Structures are given as structure tokens and as C-alpha cells.
């Protein structure tokens, strides 16, 4: 990987926050972290989202808040999935410096926002209803400037801090143990696993990607992700299985093979372990929501 993994955002020094709009064939930023808090509104595209120890599919539209220095990435497109991207990756995001808001946050009225920033250290995904509301507010704020944009920004934080329509992404015990050098290795491993999840993956090959011995790599990976490589790989596979169960008419046997499980019993076991339900029940429940 050629890019730095500690990302220094091009942040206007004179502003406490910035609103950015992006549209490209696929997201190009690797697994990274930065001291700024990030509010990410996905407007188009689909793929896999990694935040801390969370692995999930993403589809537009979604709203996610990532705390300061929490590793994250949205992976999609030909570079990561080995096929031509069929839609643009679009997003609007707000980056903000908590330090620039320190004096304002000291006031009693800002306690809910302080709590929001604290909760964002585990990553937060907001529900559909509040996402639609906040999305419209972000779009409006993007088109504003000066005091009007500042008021809109504070209103966005207010709405996000008051809603109960959200869930955490990272597990309660997750504590990030990665730095810039670690992320360069881990991002390379992510790309390899995403490109090869349909195939048999040898741990020796994954360790070679990180240029480490097998024993050292397995210990290193578990310390930083709180999962074994196989657990991590199975979560990627099951995320794609969920996507196929909803978006395709493939039977469960074919989906199992498409996602890299060559033993149907193991597929059922891993699916139940990770999702808490069976593939058929998952499909039935989610197709009911759609129709």
C-alpha cells in the first residue's frame, strides 16, 4: 500500500468543522484514523464497512459517526472486489475538532453533545428515520456559509445527541491498539481477505502479506482486532452471505459456495453464530421488510 494510514485531513485552520462532498468510482482512502471526529453520510454505493472490530455491509443511504482516532474504512469498487464498480461511491461528511469546541463544550447545555462524542468512540450507526432527517440537514448546511452554517452544524449535533435511534458498531470491550505502522499492515490484510474471501485462504499466505511469521502474525492480529484471522474472515463471508440472501434468488447451498464456505454445515454454524439466526429465517425476515 502506498498511502499513509495516519490521515492528516486538509482541515481549514480557521474553522471548527468542515463539510465535504465526494463522488468517485470507489472510495480510495485505506483503513485509517485521524484525531478529528467524522460524521459520514453515504449517498450512493455499496460494499463493506470496517469500524474498529465491526465488519458490516453498507448500502446508501447510511449515517455513521466515528470518534477521534478510531480506525475505519469503507471498501468498495474494483480495487477491492475484483470487478468493475457499477455505481459511484458518494458521500457527504463532516469532520470536526473536539479541541476547537472545547470552550463551548464546557457549558452545561452541551452535556448531550459531550456524551455523543464519548459514545462515538465505539462508532455509531443511526437508524433510517434519523438518517433521512440528518441527511437533509447536512445537505442544507453544505450549501450554507458563515453563521448560518454554524447554526446548522450545532443543530445537527443536537439532533444526533438526542436521538435514541442508533446502535454501536464496536463491541463494548474494544480498545484500539493500532498505530500508523500497524494500519499499513492491517489494511493490506483487509484487501487480501476481501479479494479472496470466496477462495480457500491459507493463514501462511495472510501472514506473508504482513511480512511476519505465522505465529507472530496470529498473535499480532488477535491483539489488535480481538479476533482470529478465521473469525475475521468468516465475518466478511457472512456479511456477503446476508447481502446475497436479500438481493439474489440463489439457494442457500449456492450462497454458501459463493461466500467461500465449501461445507454447508460449517456455513450454517457460522451464520447462526454471527447473526443469531438461520440463513432462511434471515432471508424471510428481511424480504418481509422490503415488501
228 band by pLDDT with thresholds 50, 70 and 90: very high
Confidence at residue 194, expressed as pLDDT on a 0 to 100 scale:
84
Judge if the upstream peptide bond of residue 11 is cis by omega within 30 degrees of 0. Answer: no
Q: Is a pLDDT exceeding 80 seen at residue 135?
A: yes
- Superfamily the domain 17-168 falls into: Jelly Rolls (2.60.120.10)
Q: What is the DSSP string of 113-152?
A: HHHHHHHGGG-EEE-HHHHHHHHHHHHHHHT--HHHHHHH
Smallest CA-to-CA distance from 232 within 16, 32, 56 is with 56
Confidence at residue 254, expressed as pLDDT on a 0 to 100 scale:
95
Q: Where are the domains of the chain?
A: 17-168, 197-290
Smallest CA-to-CA distance from 94 within 192, 12, 202, 181 is with 12
**What are the backbone dihedrals phi and psi of residue 201, each rounded to the nearest 5 degrees, phi first?**
-110, 120
State the average pLDDT over residues 77-86.
52
Q: Is a pLDDT exceeding 70 seen at residue 80?
A: no
Say if residues 62 and 36 touch (Cβ distance below 8 Å). Answer: no
Grid cell 456559509 is found at 145
* Per-residue H/E/C for 172-192: CCCCCCCCHHHHHHHHHHHHH
Q: Select the more confidently predicted residue: 12 or 69.
A: 69
Equal fold, 17-168 vs 197-290? no
Fold of 197-290: Arc Repressor Mutant, subunit A (1.10.10)
Confidence at residue 70, expressed as pLDDT on a 0 to 100 scale:
92
Confidence at residue 77, expressed as pLDDT on a 0 to 100 scale:
65
What are the grid coordinates assigned to 153, written together? 452544524
Say if residues 279 and 252 touch (Cβ distance below 8 Å). Answer: yes
Amino acid at each position: 500500500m502506498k498511502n499513509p494510514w495516519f490521515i492528516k485531513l486538509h482541515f481549514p485552520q480557521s474553522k471548527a468543522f468542515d463539510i465535504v462532498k465526494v463522488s468517485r468510482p470507489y472510495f480510495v482512502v485505506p483503513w485509517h484514523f485521524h484525531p478529528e471526529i467524522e460524521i459520514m453520510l453515504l449517498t450512493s454505493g455499496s460494499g463493506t464497512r470496517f469500524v474498529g472490530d465491526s465488519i458490516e455491509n453498507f448500502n446508501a443511504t447510511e449515517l455513521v459517526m466515528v470518534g477521534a482516532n478510531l480506525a475505519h474504512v469503507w471498501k468498495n469498487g474494483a480495487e477491492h472486489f475484483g470487478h468493475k464498480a457499477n455505481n459511484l461511491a458518494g458521500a457527504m461528511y463532516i469532520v470536526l475538532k473536539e479541541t476547537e469546541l472545547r470552550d463551548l463544550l464546557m457549558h452545561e447545555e452541551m452535556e448531550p453533545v459531550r456524551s455523543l462524542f464519548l459514545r462515538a468512540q465505539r462508532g455509531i450507526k443511526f437508524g433510517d428515520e434519523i438518517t433521512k432527517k440528518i441527511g437533509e440537514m447536512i445537505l442544507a448546511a453544505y450549501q450554507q456559509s458563515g453563521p448560518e452554517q454554524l447554526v446548522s452544524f450545532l443543530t445537527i449535533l443536537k439532533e444526533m445527541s438526542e436521538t435514541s435511534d442508533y446502535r454501536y458498531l464496536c463491541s463494548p470491550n474494544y480498545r484500539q491498539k493500532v498505530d500508523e505502522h500497524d494500519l499499513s499492515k492491517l489494511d493490506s490484510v483487509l484487501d487480501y481477505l476481501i479479494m479472496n474471501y470466496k477462495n480457500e485462504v491459507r493463514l501462511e499466505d495472510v501472514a506473508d502479506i504482513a511480512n511476519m511469521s505465522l505465529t507472530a502474525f496470529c498473535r499480532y492480529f488477535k491483539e489488535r482486532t480481538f479476533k482470529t484471522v478465521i473469525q475475521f474472515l468468516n465475518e466478511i463471508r457472512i456479511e456477503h452471505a446476508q447481502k446475497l440472501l436479500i438481493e439474489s434468488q440463489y439457494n442457500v447451498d449456492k450462497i454458501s459456495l459463493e461466500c467461500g464456505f465449501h461445507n454447508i454445515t460449517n456455513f450454517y454454524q457460522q451464520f447462526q453464530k454471527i447473526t443469531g439466526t438461520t440463513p432462511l429465517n434471515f432471508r424471510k425476515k428481511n424480504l418481509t421488510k422490503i415488501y
